[in-house]
Amino acid sequence: MTTLKTDLNLTDADGFYERLIEAHRGLDGPASRRLNAKLVLLLANHVGDAAVLDEALRIARGER
């Protein structure tokens, strides 16, 4: 079974973070939430594996 990668996997963590923040520039709360929601759906579909996604959900909720 595949597990969620929690070691560094981003090739350019600082660059991605900058672009993520930049993508939200000028958006109000609802528009920002919608952008994040689209990102989650796009990336979740890319991952596909339910076990990996469930693990990400648990960690994001602070459940471990």
The identity of residue 21, as a single letter, is I
Helix axes 29-47, 50-60, angle to 10 degrees: 140
Among 4, 36, 55, 56, binds other proteins (CB under 8 A): 36
Q: Does 28 bind other proteins (CB under 8 A)?
A: no
Size of the site for other proteins (CB under 8 A): 10
Q: Does 37 engage in binding with other proteins (CB under 8 A)?
A: yes
Judged on CB neighbours under 10 Å (0-12, 13-18, 19+), 44 is middle
Q: Which residues bind other proteins (CB under 8 A)?
A: 30, 33-34, 36-38, 40-42, 45
